[in-house]
Homo-oligomer: A and B are copies of this chain.
Amino acid sequence: MEKLFSKIAIVGAGAIGCYYGARLARAGGDVRFLIRSDLARVRERGLRVKTPDEEIVLPGVHAAGTPEEIGPCDLVLVALKTTANAALGRLLGPLVHGRTTIVTLQNGLGSDEELARLFGAERVAGGLCFIGVNRVAPGEIVCLTPGSVSFGEFQRPAGGRVRALADMFSRAGVRTIVSDNLAELRWKKLVWNVPFNGLAIAAGGVTTDVLTGDEELLAAARALMLEIVAAARAVTGCEIPPQFVEKQIEVTKAMGPYKPSSLIDFLEGREVEVESIWGEPLRRARAAGVDAPRLAMLYALVRRLAAR
């Protein structure tokens, strides 16, 4: 099965793209990195990835500044921020041949559909990355929490393709999970991302321990989580149990003073993934007739705060 993916493109050289790309390359994959701002440095010095267990040093990697230099691939892993999704057509077009699989590792909602619209739904799968990883310099990545990736097909149950994908990641040292319901995976991740990324920004740039340590902020977070659960039910039919919400709160309490990724983007003046994390879930909830008052207000606030 693995020959399905003999030539692999990684689109986007942030923390996620470099981390998984480096692991796949080190495991013997033919990996091509499509890189914008860090291109010269990666060409010159390659990639360095520190994990809790080891340091992966790849002095030379295939790094390209345009998709034409890479050409058609069997697998395209999309690791752009969703704020760059307007470029998907231009960046991925030259990478796609008749049977290319496109897997988005992006956050939130909307990327699957956008890729399906551009390249056909049958090509599209998704991987949700539960990982703590940062780009500390161009081509230099530090992973504190390797976590796992959950894979699923877009609008279909998992089949041989997504299992082969998960096998390939597993052999590269990544813990993987295969799911029959990508939409449920996405909404479950939103149950955490919507409140904790959002309130961390709106409460003035605070770490998650501030949110869980304040009775009213924690109540707002929990109520937001339940709005996402209700939206997920109405939009996808999936039933996220209340215990899942409580478990997420417990896990977050145990994390201590954690900075959610959107908060880091916000504090460092980078674009925040406002539409994929708050805007698109809100629009889908509304379209399904679900009232999500806190999500609507949080979206309005974060959108304004991130636009400054």
Q: Name A residues whose Cβ lies closer than 8 Å to a Cβ of B.
A: 199, 202-204, 206, 210, 214, 216-217, 219-220, 223-224, 293-294, 296-301, 303-305, 308
Contact = CB atoms under 8 A, between A and B. Distances in A.
Given A210-B304, A214-B300, A293 B223 contact: yes
17 contacts: A199-B301, A202-B202, A202-B301, A203-B304, A204-B305, A204-B308, A206-B304, A210-B304, A214-B300, A214-B303, A214-B304, A216-B300, A216-B303, A223-B293, A224-B297, A293-B293, A294-B294
A293 B298 CA distance: 12
B217 A300 contact: yes
A210 B300 CA distance: 12
A293 B305 CA distance: 21
Nearest to A302: B203
Contacts of A305: 203-204
Interface of A is mostly: helix
B301 A203 contact: yes
A202 B204 CA distance: 8
Contacts of A300: 203, 214, 216-217, 219-220
Given A223-B293, A293-B294, A294-B293, A299 B204 contact: no
Nearest to A206: B304
Given A203-B304, A204-B308, A305-B203, A297 B220 contact: yes
Nearest to A278: B216
Contacts of A294: 293-294, 297
Nearest to A300: B216
A285 to B, nearest CB: 14
